[in-house]
């Protein structure tokens, strides 16, 4: 289970805040589906790995009953296997009731003894009325022993924004907040008013920014909604089924490309009313209607209300589990589920959520929406079909569920913008600097020799004294799903398929890999009676180190990119995002803004940055305040990272990347200004320099652009709002040196250029 580049960046940010001498409090904000549990596990592992002389005790608290803590425990146990330091125990602590039959009868018999480098997971229900952990002050004793024994207590509160601090766990929360050496609140609503609380923020925009996340997309990005309270349940159901059948056809087309994903439609329901007869009758009637319509449409469905309350209209009847429903190749089209029993459940193949008011009184919220937003495409790549997710609901929305909609204004629908493409990515020269490749790979393998061997044990395991291969179907932040293969003929078939799918690696590197295996692993055993074969070695490298191997191959390819410019109208023409809260928004004041926007119930507002000191806010305000008799700018807008307005470039490993400019401006004279915004205290100057090098190369070619364009990097001093700029452009078009100008002067100079290309 590998962290993406952006996930690793946030884990490193959390680690950098740890101080063994001073208690630290952190608010960690990350979207649902961004892999918070994976990042928390990586943080725990890395903290113990870095501070080997410290004795840590980790406490994780979730806002739910036994379902979510159990799920948290299982995920950590899965994730830790792939991390450098995995020698730590995880325990889900449950608290029986004082009135339970098996409750201890003698005071002092219930104790939790802290152990070094152990993770304890609690649900808030553990601290309810009459719970033993509460009535017998078990947590008080646990904390006291932790401090007396000199342990470092690290407290992680999951979903800290949900429900505040309930009365039942106030004492627990007080103990943790006041005794922990480090508090991490995983929350959708950071406390910006308290400067003493550090903020680590991972936004959905960051996750969907291929530059920041190195081409990985954890989440789907294109939302298609039908939120219509006036529709009755039968109308909404009919529309959703019709749409889903069309989606199935689209996914079927992917099989021509070797991608086998069976999309899923989720229907969320609540508990049937036990006191309101009329409400109960409506619930049962609507549930019957749902199942009848699904049967009529020829869709297979599973009803999951808990392990002891499940049913399907297939031959499986009730013989299925939540994990089986999640698999990409699952036989089930539709899952009817209750939130409670399915808490912590991940199903990346799900792409459509349906809520009907008669069976779902719970409002639409970010957590539920997260179930259909996870990317299910291979290697977390983006695909036009799998990037879409659909929300159908006539149920009331939560108060903290804020919808942002942006639509390209009708008068700008045909307005064209320039994008830069690389034309020879697929047809580039296959000549390789073989000596450089050999040096890179040998150095890499020698450095990671022990790690690779240990990783092989996570892929090939012993079960009942038999060696099994874990054939992973999907491995992303939401979970890992695999089949166990022990049959040698089936394994051989899969191995040959893997070789074919990774032909480039084997063509370029197999001799190097074989030589290394022969010297280092030929006589080594993976387990007693099971030698470590070259096939095991190759499979481990493909599954766990593929990106690194491809980077070395690409780095040593001997070719240069060829660029071309494509002009086309802005897409997507409609864009939707969802928020639990909006840290900062800006009003749209210029008539030339590209989009009509609606943020919740406010027209002409757009979320920008995390607060009013975000660098994007200063640039947004700078452009908004321009006033040259409204003759200067034809159209401008905050660019979305899913748009077609971007610049292609190659990173240091010759991997294809795209720069999605933060702001795009088109002047009356048809000259374009594309702006990349950076904080003056750039957290990743190396990546910024890589972007700037790409921009320089655009303009080192002759006749690349069919219209004048300037690409600028704006660096913002967020303390005083000053903006400096570095621009890249065709110097023959301008009499002045644009890099000697202020931002105001730059815009004035560009707007005054007489476009000879018209």
Q: Which CATH number belongs to the domain containing residue 308 in this structure?
A: 3.40.50.300
Task: State how far the Cα of 339 lies from the Cα of 227, in Å rounded to an integer.
Answer: 20
What pLDDT was estimated at residue 87? 84
Q: Specify if 152 maps to a domain.
A: yes
Q: Specify if 412 maps to a domain.
A: no
Instruction: Quote helix, strand, coil % in the chain, to nearest 5.
Output: 35, 25, 40
CA 127 to chain centre: 32
Q: What are the residues facing 585 on neighbouring strands?
A: 607
Burial class (CB in 10 A: 0-12, 13-18, 19+), 312: buried
Backbone angles phi, psi at 68, to 5 degrees: -70, -45
Shared domain for 45 and 193, answered yes or no, is yes
Shared domain for 300 and 336, answered yes or no, is yes
Shared domain for 378 and 492, answered yes or no, is no
Q: Specify if 423 maps to a domain.
A: no
Are 319 and 251 in contact by the 8 Å Cβ rule? The answer is: no
Shared domain for 41 and 91, answered yes or no, is yes
Task: Tell which of 555, 578, 601 closes a domain.
Answer: 555
Q: What are the residues facing 267 on neighbouring strands?
A: 336, 354
Give Cβ neighbours of residue 719 (< 8 Å, ≥ 6 apart).
none
Predicted TM-score of the model (pTM):
0.70
Shared domain for 345 and 377, answered yes or no, is yes
What pLDDT was estimated at residue 758? 43
Task: Tell which of 532, 555, 578 closes a domain.
Answer: 555
Q: Specify if 425 maps to a domain.
A: no
Task: State how far the Cα of 27 lies from the Cα of 185, in Å rounded to an integer.
Answer: 5
Are 533 and 453 in contact by the 8 Å Cβ rule? The answer is: no
Shared domain for 445 and 582, answered yes or no, is no
Q: Mean pLDDT for each consecutive 10-residue tract of the chain (758 residues)? A: 82 93 93 86 92 93 69 83 82 63 48 90 68 71 92 89 51 88 88 86 79 78 90 96 97 92 95 88 94 97 91 92 86 90 80 94 80 88 92 85 92 95 71 86 93 89 84 48 75 86 88 93 91 93 88 80 90 88 85 92 90 92 76 89 89 80 94 95 86 90 78 95 95 91 93 67
Are 140 and 112 in contact by the 8 Å Cβ rule? The answer is: no
Q: Specify if 414 maps to a domain.
A: no
Shared domain for 257 and 187, answered yes or no, is no
Task: Tell which of 159, 175, 203 closes a domain.
Answer: 203
709-716 and 723-728 beta bridge pairing: antiparallel
Q: H-helix or E-strand containing 354? A: strand 350-355
Task: State how far the Cα of 18 lies from the Cα of 2, in Å rounded to an integer.
Answer: 23
Give Cβ neighbours of residue 581 (< 8 Å, ≥ 6 apart).
188, 189, 400, 402
Q: Where are the beta strands (DSSP E) in 438-478?
A: 460-463, 466-476
Of the candidates 248, 218, 220, the residue with the CA atom closest to the CA atom of residue 384? 220
Shared domain for 576 and 546, answered yes or no, is no
Backbone angles phi, psi at 310, to 5 degrees: -145, 155
What pLDDT was estimated at residue 57? 96
Q: H-helix or E-strand containing 677? A: strand 672-679
In three-state secondary structure terms, 438 is helix
Are 290 and 237 in contact by the 8 Å Cβ rule? The answer is: yes
What pLDDT was estimated at residue 164? 44
Provide the domain limits for residue 317. Answer: 222-400
Shared domain for 629 and 524, answered yes or no, is no
Look at the chain and report how many structural domains it folds into: 4
Shared domain for 29 and 149, answered yes or no, is yes
What pLDDT was estimated at residue 218? 84
Q: Specify if 487 maps to a domain.
A: yes
Are 733 and 615 in contact by the 8 Å Cβ rule? The answer is: no
Shared domain for 61 and 186, answered yes or no, is yes
Q: Specify if 562 maps to a domain.
A: no
Q: Specify if 408 maps to a domain.
A: no
Cβ count within 10 A of residue 434: 12
Shared domain for 574 and 695, answered yes or no, is yes
């Amino acid at each position: 289970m590998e962290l993406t580049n952006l996930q690793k960046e946030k884990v490193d940010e959390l680690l950098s805040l740890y101080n063994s001498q001073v208690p630290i409090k952190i608010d960690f904000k990350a979207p649902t589906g961004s892999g918070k549990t994976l990042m928390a596990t990586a943080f725990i592992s890395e903290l113990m790995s870095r501070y080997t002389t410290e004795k840590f005790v980790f406490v994780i608290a979730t806002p739910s009953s036994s379902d979510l803590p159990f799920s948290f425990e299982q995920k950590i146990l899965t994730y830790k296997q792939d991390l450098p330091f995995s020698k730590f125990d995880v325990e889900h602590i449950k608290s029986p009731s004082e009135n339970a039959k098996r409750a201890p009868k003698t005071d002092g018999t219930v104790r939790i003894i802290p152990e070094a480098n152990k993770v304890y997971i609690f649900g808030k229900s553990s601290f309810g009325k009459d719970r033993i952990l509460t009535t017998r002050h078990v947590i008080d004793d646990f904390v006291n022993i932790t401090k007396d024994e000199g342990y470092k207590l690290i407290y992680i509160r999951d979903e800290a924004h949900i429900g505040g601090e309930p009365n039942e766990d106030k004492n627990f929360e007080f103990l943790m907040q006041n005794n922990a050496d480090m508090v991490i609140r995983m929350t959708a609503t950071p406390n910006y008013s308290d400067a003493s609380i550090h903020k680590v923020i991972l936004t959905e925009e960051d996750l969907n920014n291929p530059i920041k996340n190195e081409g990985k997309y954890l989440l789907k990005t294109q939302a298609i909604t039908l939120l219509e309270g006036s529709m009755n349940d039968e109308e909404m159901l009919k529309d959703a089924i019709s749409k889903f059948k069309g989606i199935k056809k689209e996914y079927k087309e992917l099989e021509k490309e070797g991608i086998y994903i069976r999309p899923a439609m989720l229907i969320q329901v609540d508990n049937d009313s036990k006191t309101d007869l009329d409400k109960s009758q409506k619930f049962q009637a609507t549930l019957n209607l749902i199942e009848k319509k699904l049967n009529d449409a020829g869709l297979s469905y599973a009803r999951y209300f808990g392990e002891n309350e499940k049913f399907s209209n297939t031959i499986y009847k009730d013989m299925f589990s939540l994990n089986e429903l999640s698999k990409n190749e699952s036989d089930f089209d539709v899952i009817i589920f209750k939130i409670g029993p399915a808490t912590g459940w991940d199903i990346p193949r799900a792409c459509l959520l349906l809520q009907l008011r008669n069976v779902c009184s719970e409002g639409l919220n970010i957590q539920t929406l997260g179930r259909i937003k996870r990317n299910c495409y291979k290697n977390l790549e983006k695909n036009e079909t799998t990037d879409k997710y659909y929300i159908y609901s006539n149920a009331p929305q939560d108060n903290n569920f804020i919808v942002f909609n942006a639509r390209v204004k009708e008068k700008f629908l045909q307005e064209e913008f320039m994008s830069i493409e690389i034309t020879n990515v697929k047809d580039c020269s296959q000549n390789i600097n073989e000596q450089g490749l050999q040096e890179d790979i040998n150095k890499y393998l020698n450095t990671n020799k022990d790690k690779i061997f240990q990783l092989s044990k996570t892929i090939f395991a012993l079960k009942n004294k038999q060696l099994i291969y874990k054939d992973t179907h999907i491995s992303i932040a939401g979970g890992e799903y695999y089949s166990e293969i022990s049959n040698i003929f089936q394994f051989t078939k899969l191995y040959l398929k893997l070789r074919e799918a990774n032909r480039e690696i084997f063509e370029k590197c197999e001799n190097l890999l074989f030589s290394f295996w022969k010297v280092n692993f030929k006589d080594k055993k993976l387990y007693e009676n099971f030698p470590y074969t070259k096939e095991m070695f190759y499979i481990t490298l493909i599954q766990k180190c593929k990106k690194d191997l491809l980077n070395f191959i690409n780095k040593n390819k001997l070719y240069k990119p060829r660029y071309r410019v494509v002009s086309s109208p802005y897409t997507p023409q409609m864009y939707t995002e969802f928020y639990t809260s909006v840290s900062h928004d800006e009003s749209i004041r210029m008539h030339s803004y590209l989009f009509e926007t609606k943020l919740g119930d406010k027209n002409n507002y757009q979320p920008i940055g995390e607060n009013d000191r975000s660098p994007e806010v200063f640039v947004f305000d700078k452009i908004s305040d321009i006033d040259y008799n409204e003759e200067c700018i034809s159209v401008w807008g905050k660019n979305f990272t899913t748009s077609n307005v971007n610049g292609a470039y190659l990173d240091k490993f010759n991997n294809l990347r795209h720069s999605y400019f933060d702001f795009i401006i088109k002047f009356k004279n048809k000259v374009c200004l594309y702006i990349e915004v950076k904080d003056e205290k750039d957290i990743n100057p190396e990546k910024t320099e890589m972007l700037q090098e790409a921009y320089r190369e655009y303009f080192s070619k002759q006749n690349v652009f069919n219209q004048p364009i300037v690409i600028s990097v704006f660096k913002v001093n967020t303390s005083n709002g000053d903006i400096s700029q570095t621009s890249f452009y065709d110097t023959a078009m301008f009499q002045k040196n644009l890099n000697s100008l202020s931002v105001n002067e730059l815009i004035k100079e560009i707007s005054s250029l007489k476009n000879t290309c018209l």
